[in-house]
Structure 1
Amino acid sequence: MDQARLQHVLAPEWMGDPSALSMEELRARRAELQEVEVTLSYQRRMAQGRLDIVAAERHRRDQGDAAPAPEAVVAHLTGILAPNTRGQGNGRLSQLLAPEPTEAETPELDAIAGANVLASLPTLSDEDLDRLIEDLAEFEAGCSRSRRALHDRIDSLQGEVVRRYRTGEASVETLLR
């Protein structure tokens, strides 16, 4: 996620007063917010998946089980990841289900738990594993906070669009032209 873009759309001056914007500008800003939200949603899902994998390693250790062979870990990934496929979000279905390829890169998340870290989970100390869980949970929570802020802005812009249609300031006919 381009942090500069996220900070830009979350800045108070970017939002301004929705009632002062043209319909085209309202729609354009709403679309931009939705694009950023899709990227954040993707990153949150990626973080949650990695957190599930790390938590499974913590559970394995707590149970006193031996470290599995790499092929056994791969075979169990579906079982590790499937229980949390339904998020705790607000149930919104995004118009865009995946971000653009350049936006799908996750350097911040990879710095916390990239492929090499995930591949070496059995060799991490308990302290490092617990720190990894904390760092992933913090990253996921940050994504969730930012998504909530984006949803608040999307709702505000959408509310202004609806208000204009209800009061007659905008008409459906203008959409058909």
Structure 2
Amino acid sequence: MTAHTERRLDRVLSADLDLRGLVTAQLRAARAEAIAEEADLSYLRRLLHGRIDIIAAELTARADGDSSPLIGRLIEILADHSAPRHVSARYQPIDPGRVGEYRLAMEASLGDLDVPDLASCPAVRLHEVADRLSRHEREISALRRTVQQVVDAYAAELARRYREGEATVDELLAE
């Protein structure tokens, strides 16, 4: 086992975006790594949003005097009520082993809060955890935007190569 344990995120963010020196196969591999990182960050954001929504719903229910069990409200809490939006048609596989490092950070944000037992948690504690999760979500969102810029740079360079004849579909199919 090597002592070098650089995270994929670190590799993606430290990429030299002067891409003309890369052969097309290297460029595609680097883009695939960046896309995988973006997918994992997106997954973590969805987990964070779910947890934040659950805590917010519990706080709202308390303020409204609603003592119904949280479990009975989960479908409504976690339903996506946002306006329809355009999403990428590309398949984004999630590597559960990679998501683990992000999930550990999220779980640390939760601290000792047991989500299924929110009803017995003091409101001040719920607010503290929601604030920590929200800060963590903003950090993950900023990282994700930066990774998306890297993916866009790779895609733009690949498009330029195809447009200018430096790369061909035949080469891609031969790989």
TM-score range (shorter-chain normalised) is 0.7 to 0.9
The corresponding residue for 1:95 is 91
Any conservation in 2 of the 1:50–1:113 contact (CA below 8 Å)? no
Which blocks of at least 5 consecutive residues in structure 1 are unaligned?
Answer: none
Q: CA deviation at 1:176?
A: 2.9
- SS of the residue 1:83 aligns to: coil
After superposition, residues 136-147 of structure 1 pair within 5 angstroms as: 136-147=133-144
Provide TM-score, normalisation by structure 2: 0.84
The corresponding residue for 1:165 is 162
CA spacing shift, 1:63–1:119, aligned 2, 3 Å:
same
Question: Which residue identity is paired with 1:32?
Answer: E
Number of residue-to-residue matches in the alignment: 168
Any conservation in 1 of the 2:52–2:130 contact (CA below 8 Å)? yes
- SS of the residue 2:92 aligns to: coil
Q: CA deviation at 1:141?
A: 1.4
Any conservation in 2 of the 1:51–1:133 contact (CA below 8 Å)? yes
CA spacing shift, 1:21–1:3, aligned 2, 3 Å:
closer
Which blocks of at least 5 consecutive residues in structure 2 are unaligned?
Answer: none
- SS of the residue 1:15 aligns to: coil
The corresponding residue for 2:110 is 113
- 1:33 maps onto 2:30 in alignment: no
- 1:152 maps onto 2:149 in alignment: yes
The corresponding residue for 1:49 is 50
- SS of the residue 2:151 aligns to: helix
- 1:19 maps onto 2:20 in alignment: yes
Q: CA deviation at 1:151?
A: 0.7
Provide TM-score, normalisation by structure 1: 0.83
Q: CA deviation at 1:55?
A: 0.6
Deviations 1:14-61 (A, max 9, x none): 234112111011100000011111111111100111111001011112
Query: For the residues of structure 1 that align with 2:80 and 2:123, how far apart are their CA atoms?
Result: 24
Q: CA RMSD in A?
A: 2.5
